[in-house]
Structure 1
């Protein structure tokens, strides 16, 4: 479960992301495209082109965690 605290920052990746990407590819996107370090404990959010899929990348003390939600009908709003 994703435990949130006031020190976490949230970053939304600008533009759609291919949802076939896994943890390490998304972490590399965070470094190269977003200019951030994914191991800081911040939250990185990625949306698919049709905005029906969302992936959230987070690094905690044990390693990376990737959450993926796929909506059946609606779309995520920006």
Structure 2
């Protein structure tokens, strides 16, 4: 089962990616174009031009995993930005895979408390 944890870094490669690329091609893209470490254990998310296919590449202890989702109808709300890469959390990835924008204005913001002694 594919289930990202809260502490995991998820990097979105903005723009479109050739979905003919598999593990080798995507890991080279991560290291050479995005200047990130494909062996870090972080997730790297790619989308095609039609925005109906997502691929997620990540290193899992002793090998690469490639998760692929193709929508039969509709498209993903892929973020538009002038940056090459965007780092999001597990909640935003879940929204993206559900067809929602990663910027949910009405979502509850995380609360952080500090102990007072």
> Do Structure 1 and Structure 2 share a fold, with TM-score over 0.5?
yes
Local SS of the residue matching 2:46: strand
Would you tell me which structure has more strand in proportion to its own residues?
Answer: 1
Q: Aligned residue for 2:72?
A: 72
How far the C-alpha of 1:24 sits from its partner, in A, is: 0.8
Q: Aligned residue for 1:46?
A: 46
The TM-score, its normalising length taken from structure 2, stands at 0.63
Give every structure 1 segment of 4 or more consecutive aligned residues whose post-TM-superposition deviation is greater than 3 Å. Answer: none
Counterparts of 1:68 and 1:3, CA distance in 2 = 14
May I ask how many residue pairs the two structures share in their alignment? 78
The TM-score, its normalising length taken from structure 1, stands at 0.92
How far the C-alpha of 1:22 sits from its partner, in A, is: 0.6
- Select the structure of larger CA radius of gyration: 2
For structure 1, list consecutive stretches of 5 or more residues without a partner in the other structure: none
For each residue in 1:19-53, what CA deviation from the matched residue of structure 2 results, as whole angstroms up to 9, or x when unmatched? Answer: 00010110000001111001100000000000000
